[in-house]
Structure 1
Amino acid sequence: MSTGGRGSLLAQPLQLPSLGRAAAYLGLFLLGALVALAGALLQAAWFPGGLLLALAGAAGLFVGGSYALGGRGGAVAPVVGWILTVLLLTASRPEGDFLFGAGGGSYLFLLGGMAVAVICATLAPGRQPDGGSVRLGK
């Protein structure tokens, strides 16, 4: 059976990313961790402006990563770095030290950042196949 040319575009096997693309994902992952650390310090210092600035910085990184790499993977890489860093910062150490206090601002940063991450990763532009843009049925 023939797929008419269109099915062959959709049935391509997955390939490993190139070395440059993998380095870009790693860089975005590390930037996500850095933005999470800076946001954790900033949100408590200048509440509520610091909280808004920290969340806006995270959203900018997530959306910027998706546009830079041309797909949702560019948004997911910094999101994973951000969430892992925030979760590691919330764990208390045996000495009793921790970075987040029990205030409302910390919870807003944690939950708001996760909501921003999901929104940015969901609304990020998906990769489109090459070719002209045509409408079906015309």
Structure 2
Amino acid sequence: MSANGPGSLLAQPLGRPSAGRIAAYLGLLVLGAVVGLAGALVQAAWFPGGLLLALAGAAGLFLGGAYATGGRGGAVAPVVGWIVTVILLTTARPEGDFLFGAGLGSYLFLLGGMALAVICATVGAGRQPRSGAARLGK
């Protein structure tokens, strides 16, 4: 590695995130919660189609957030909002009411959404070097 070159991307300091980036992450977190709530309602209403629609909406938000922010943090922020909302909706209230039924669709929504979250956070747009070279160190 050259002493004058930009060095490894992992060795670069990240710096402080801007106010716009923080606002984008908070917006994606809220959107993740909204998509989780909407998906919980839709997947139970129209079983096969609603489940696919709910999972497609979640995947679109997760992957779109990664590409919109240019990093994997854009996929993680809506995932956090989605998971917190879905987990809170699965808990029973003292009256015995809860939003999710104990059916196959609910479990597929939970597990499928978690699998999509991992896939989208892994495949999502990672930070790329700013130089025009195809390989680092060139």
CA distances 1:97-132 after superposition (whole Å, capped 9, x unpaired) = 100000111000000110011101110010112111
Q: What is the CA-CA distance between 1:15 and the residue it aligns to?
A: 1.8
Q: Report 1:62-101 matches (<5 A).
A: 62-101=62-101
Structure 2 Cα separation of the partners of residues 106 and 9 of structure 1: 41
In 1, the alpha carbon distance for the partners of 2:9 and 2:39 equals: 42
Gaps of 5+ in 1: none
- Aligned residues between the structures: 138
Residue of structure 2 in register with 1:116 after alignment: 116
**Paired residue for 2:30?**
30
Name the SS for the 1:48 alignment partner: helix
Residues 1:14 and 2:22 aligned together: no
- Counterpart CA distance in 2 for 1:122 and 1:50 is 25
Quick one: distance in 2 between partners of 1:117 and 1:24?
18
Measure, in 2, the Cα distance between the counterparts of 1:130 and 1:111: 37
Q: Which residue of structure 2 aligns with residue 128 of structure 1?
A: 128
| Structure 1 pair 137–96 and aligned structure 2 pair: CA distance change class (3 A) | closer
CA contact (8 A) 2:8 2:136 kept: no
TM-score (norm 2): 0.92
SS class of match (2:120)? helix
Q: Secondary structure at the match of 1:130?
A: coil
Query: Secondary structure, in 3 states, of the residue corresponding to 1:7?
Result: coil
Q: How far does residue 5 in structure 1 lie from its aligned partner after superposition?
A: 1.7
What corresponds to 1:43 in structure 2? 43
* C-alpha displacement of 1:42: 0.2
Partner SS, residue 7 of structure 2: helix
Q: Displacement, 1:13?
A: 2.1
| CA offset digits 1:40-91 (Å, max 9, x no partner) | 0000000010000000000000011011001101111000110010011111
1:103 maps to which residue? 103
